[in-house]
Amino acid sequence: MRSREREVIGRADRRRPAGVGSGADALLIAALALFNESNDLDAALSKTLTMLTAALDGRIGEIWLRGGDARDVELRYSSSDGAPDVVAFEAEGKALGLGAGPALVSRVVKTGRGSAAASVGGEGMGDRTSVAAAADIHSALTFPIRGKCSLVGVLAFFRESTVRPHSEALASMPGICHHLGRFIERMRAENAIHEAAMELAALASTDALTGLKNRREFDRALRTIPRLPFAVLSLDVDGLKNINDSEGHAAGDMLLRVVGHTLGLLVRGWDVMARVGGDEFAALLPEVGVFGAQLVAERMRVAMHSLALSIGSVRITVGWSAAPAGADPLSVWQRADESLYQAKRAGGDRIAGASYERGEAADIAERSYSDVVARILEGGSLSTMYQPIVSLENGAVLGYEALARPEGFAAMDSVEPVFEAARTGGQIRDLDWVCRRQAVDDARRLPDGSALFLNISAAALLDPVHGVDQLLLLLSSADRSPETVVLEITEHERIRDYEVLARVLAAYRAEGIRFALDDVGEGHSTLELLAASSSEFLKLGRSLTMTSTRVGSRAAMDATLAFARVSGAAVIAEGVENEFVADLMKAGGVRLGQGFGLGKPTMADDVEDVATALSERAALSALRPRSAEAGSLT
Ligand code: C2E
Ligand code: MG
Ligand code: MG
């Protein structure tokens, strides 16, 4: 395709008559270059329009494109200089929708001929006559845009002057319109082929009964060796054969559909959930460790218990295996399968599994959350992951939140139950301290000057023993200045004495340490605490962010934003899992975000990779970082 277009440019050059480099040729060549180099119809047409409007001395240019019906056109592109009268003129044209269009455009559609000096008075402009006068528009130029066989649309330019524009520009218009028509047809055909190919690919990779991925797609997913820890689940519907025998295959199919649908709802967008055989399902879960795999497996098993079907109850058995980065996914799946069959033999409706690399001592999978706490406090393995807090406007990373990851927990496994177990066991202060020490220490490997957001439990915050001095000592041993530290206050319900709180916060603030109120809008967060803490940052809780289209959440979000405006706090939306949520937050007036869609929790050594990934991810173009403004927290 491209070479053909280049050939066209070549011919245009050769055809050039007297006066090489004349204005007419320059315009044609500029337009051809645009068509030749563009893969984006919208961008190319907008640029072309701007260029031609200027060349023809127009106030505004428009491209009307044909819809389905031969006589219908629609205003699709306009070059507006943003002046209010021009915008009003443009809006009036857009408001016409798909139809005959204004008379001077529909005339071109009917006759196939344009006009170099159409008057804009009277019926030619229809309802736009008065707005045209307000915008100082007195004449119009129209050109047909022809495709290979039929008219594609109409180019219209509206001008202040009634004198014909520069003749060179006019002379090049037939050529430009010819190529423009071909370009639009080519791009439309390419887009249609692309869409058809996408649909075919989706069909080829989808299980028709459940809408999940099929076996082929699952096999394909397993061919890539993951660079991060991952888990595989192997699932089986209990007693499907009996249902098929007693109730018929239609009932069996219905059951599989319901099971598939339920499983599909329990995985994240980037997980691969597939139906891999008659009654067998499998899932590949990136960045999930032993504890996450167990959690998901159990959630899936339990979800079946709440399904009400006419044929009776549904039960599944789940085998899981969690593996480190670099393990062969196929062998990990086999290991999950072995666990599945063990669990089946034990009677079904249960989960079983193991870490792929069974430890020398007991398998970590057998550890309870309180065992995990005990191990950490005994000096067992603990790492910290850092999740970026990102500007939703330009993608710049403003700082990182430290998140504890004990052995067996991958980036996206929740450590919430570990902290809960420590609370119940009265070990929260100790656990909190060990995690913070590790977080500050590992943060040395973050990019220079990065701000560090540290979670702090209420017990530790209000405890005079683990006070300011101890934190300062810790920071100085890691060469970190207190001005780069933000403490995140969670467990709002545990903070009752606001006088003590005020004293403690003042002592930290005197050293330059700032505060964030974590998970605002979740659990028992109170307005009192909002006011009493005067936090520099307010973090909108994930459940609020994720439901921000609901009226209640919206109201809570607006109240928080209003409070932030008055108090001067910066608002950070948590749980930004995708671009859609990012856009919603931005539209709602939130400038900062954190979430898997903006950057997953990562080891300190890898955080720069996150910033690069962000800059390269086209899907998040609106969030692309312009520069690594790490640490600038303004
Ligand atoms: P948090 O401070 O609100 O941390 C955010 C949690 O949300 C993290 O879970 C993070 O992995 C998760 N998250 C981030 N983005 C997304 C997203 O887009 N979608 C979803 N679904 N989740 C997202 P994590 O690491 O499991 O931490 C849970 C809680 O445990 C934290 O909530 C914090 O209260 C506490 N915690 C974690 N590490 C520490 C620590 O070192 N010290 C203390 N005191 N508490 C910690
Ligand atoms: Mg937090
Ligand atoms: Mg939070």
- The pLDDT score that the predictor gives to residue 634 is 36
Report residue 449's pLDDT band, with 50, 70 and 90 as the boundaries: confident
User: How many CA atoms, within 13 angstroms, populate the side-chain half-sphere of residue 153?
Assistant: 24
Q: Is the pLDDT of residue 103 over 50?
A: yes
- Three-state DSSP class for residue 596: coil
Q: 316 by DSSP, 3-state: which?
A: strand
Give the other-Cβ count within 10 Å of 56's Cβ.
22
Region 15-37 average pLDDT: 70
Of the pLDDT bands very low, low, confident and very high (cuts 50, 70, 90), residue 122 is low
Answer yes or no: is the C-beta of 456 below 6 A from any ligand 1 atom: yes
Q: Which atom of ligand 1 is nearest to the CA of 574?
A: 15
Average pLDDT over residues 323-327: 92
User: Residue 609: which pLDDT band, with cuts at 50, 70 and 90?
Assistant: low
Residue 519 alpha carbon to ligand 3 centre in Å = 4
Task: Evaluate if residue 127 carries a pLDDT over 80.
Answer: no
Quick check: CB of 378 below 6 Å from ligand 1? Answer: no
Q: Find the length of the chain.
A: 634
Whether the CB of 292 sits within 6 Å of ligand 1:
no
Q: What is the mean pLDDT of the chain?
A: 86
For the stretch 201-214, pLDDT in tens is 777 889 999 999 99
CA atoms within 13 A on the CB side of 634: 2
> How does pLDDT run across 480-499, given as a tens digit for each residue?
999 999 999 988 888 888 89
Q: What is the pLDDT at residue 282?
A: 98
Query: Do 516 and 489 form a contact (C-beta atoms < 8 A)?
Result: yes
Q: How far is the CA of 323 from the centre of ligand 2 (A)?
A: 27
Closest CA to 410 of 212, 197, 227, 615: 227
pLDDT digit string, tens, across residues 79-100: 877 788 888 888 888 888 888 8
For residues 16, 17, 23 and 25, what is the CA-based torsion angle, rounded to 10 degrees? Answer: -20
Among 386, 403, 462, residue to substitute to test ligand 1 (most atoms within 8 Å of Cβ): 403
Strands 537-540, 514-520: pairing is parallel
How confident is residue 6, by pLDDT bands cut at 50, 70 and 90?
Answer: very low
41 lines ligand 1 (CB under 6 A): no
Ligand nearest to the CA of 422: 1
Contact between 434 and 405 under an 8 Å Cβ cutoff? The reply is no
| C-beta of 403 in contact with ligand 1 (< 6 A) | yes
Ligand 1 atom closest to the Cα of residue 460 is 44
Q: Which ligand has its closest atom nearest to the C-alpha of 598?
A: 1
Residue type, 451: A
Q: Supply the pLDDT for residue 445.
A: 94
Percent with pLDDT over 70 in the chain? 89
Burial (CB < 10 A; 0-12, 13-18, 19+), residue 32, is buried
- By the 8 A CB rule, do 536 and 505 touch? no
If you measure from the C-alpha of residue 402 to the centroid of ligand 2, how many angstroms do you get, rounded to a whole number? 8
Q: Quote the pTM value.
A: 0.67
Give which of 226, 217, 230 is closest to 268, Cα–Cα.
230
Contacts 24+ apart (CB under 8 A), 497-502: 497/462, 498/528, 498/529, 498/532, 500/462, 501/461, 501/462, 501/532, 501/533, 502/532
Which CATH code for domain 3-194? 3.30.450.40
Q: Report how far apart, in Å, the C-alpha atoms of 565 and of each of 461, 538, 560 are.
A: 26, 11, 9
Q: Please tell me the predicted confidence (pLDDT) of residue 80.
A: 79
Per residue in 333-342, pLDDT (tens digit) is 999 999 999 9
* Residue 51 or 69, more confident: 51
In angstroms, what is the span from residue 539 Cα to ligand 3's centroid? Answer: 6
Is the distance from CB of 340 to CB of 319 less than 8 angstroms? yes
Tell me: pLDDT of 464 over 80.
Answer: no
In this prediction, residue 628 carries a pLDDT of 37
pLDDT tens for 282-299 read 999 999 999 999 999 999
573 lines ligand 1 (CB under 6 A): no
Query: Ligand 1 within 6 A of 415 CB?
Result: yes
Ligand 1 pocket, 386 CB below 6 A?
A: no
Domain 380-623 CATH superfamily: EAL domain (3.20.20.450)
Query: What's the CA-to-centroid distance between 598 and ligand 3, angstroms?
Result: 15
**Tens of pLDDT, residues 156-178:** 999 988 888 888 888 999 999 99
Say if residues 255 and 311 touch (Cβ distance below 8 Å). yes
Backbone angles phi, psi at 255, to 5 degrees: -60, -45
d(CA 439, CA 482): 14
Residue 229 to residues 31, 397, 602: CA-CA distances in angstroms?
50, 25, 12
518 lines ligand 1 (CB under 6 A): yes
Residue 142 is inside which H or E element, if any?
A: strand 139-146
Region 439-464: mean pLDDT is: 92
Ligand 1 and 53: CB distance under 6 A:
no
Q: Which of 630, 571, 570 is nearest to 599 (CA)?
A: 630
Please tell me if the CB atom of residue 490 comes closer than 6 angstroms to any atom of ligand 1. Answer: yes
Question: Does residue 575's CB lie within 6 angstroms of at least one atom of ligand 1?
Answer: yes
Nearest ligand to the CA atom of 490: 1
Name which of 13-22, 239-248, 253-262, 397-406 the model is least confident about. Answer: 13-22
72 lines ligand 1 (CB under 6 A): no
> Among residues 317, 396, 386, which one has the least CA distance to residue 606?
386
66-70, 88-92, 334-338, 573-577 — which is least confidently predicted?
66-70
Query: CB 543: neighbour CB atoms within 10 A?
Result: 15
DSSP state of 226: P
- Whole-number Å distance, alpha carbon 623 to ligand 1 midpoint, is 22
Rounded Cα distance between 618 and 614, Å, is: 8
| Average pLDDT, integer, range 24-48 | 88
Is 4 exposed, middle or buried (CB count within 10 Å of its CB: 0-12, 13-18, 19+)? exposed
- Least confident stretch, 100-104, 252-256, 395-399: 100-104
518 CA to centre of ligand 3 in angstroms:
5
Give dist(CA 496, CA 473) in Å, integer: 28
What token pair was written down for 385?
């992951």
Q: Give the atom of ligand 1 at the shortest distance from the alpha carbon of 594.
A: 15
Which has the higher per-residue pLDDT, 523 or 240? Answer: 240
Strands 592-593 and 570-573 turn out to be parallel
Q: Which of 268, 415, 461, 579 to mutate to test the pocket of ligand 1 (most atoms within 8 A of CB)?
A: 415
Please determine, for residue 19, whether its predicted confidence score (pLDDT) is greater than 70.
Answer: no
The response to whether residue 545 sits with its C-beta less than 6 Å from ligand 1 reads no
Q: Tell me if 455 CB under 6 Å of ligand 1.
A: yes
Options 3.40.630.30, 3.90.550.10, 3.30.70.270, 1.20.1730.10; CATH of 215-366: 3.30.70.270
> Atom 20, ligand 1: which residue's CA is nearest?
575
Domains 3-194 and 215-366 share a fold: no
Whole-number percent of the chain with pLDDT over 90? 54
Q: Which pLDDT value is given to residue 616?
A: 55
pLDDT of 124 reads 64
pLDDT digits (tens, 9 = 90+) for 331-375: 999 999 999 999 999 999 999 999 998 654 457 777 889 999 999
Where exactly are the structural domains of the chain? 3-194, 215-366, 380-623
Residues 389/398, Cβ–Cβ less than 8 Å: yes
Mean pLDDT of 605-626: 57
**From the CB of 602, is ligand 1 less than 6 Å away?**
no
| 432, 455, 594, best to mutate for ligand 1 pocket (most atoms within 8 Å of CB) | 455
Ligand 1 pocket member 244 (CB < 6 A): no
The pLDDT, as a whole number, for residue 613 is 63
pLDDT at residue 67 greater than cutoff 90: no
Residue 295 tokens, joined: 């959690």
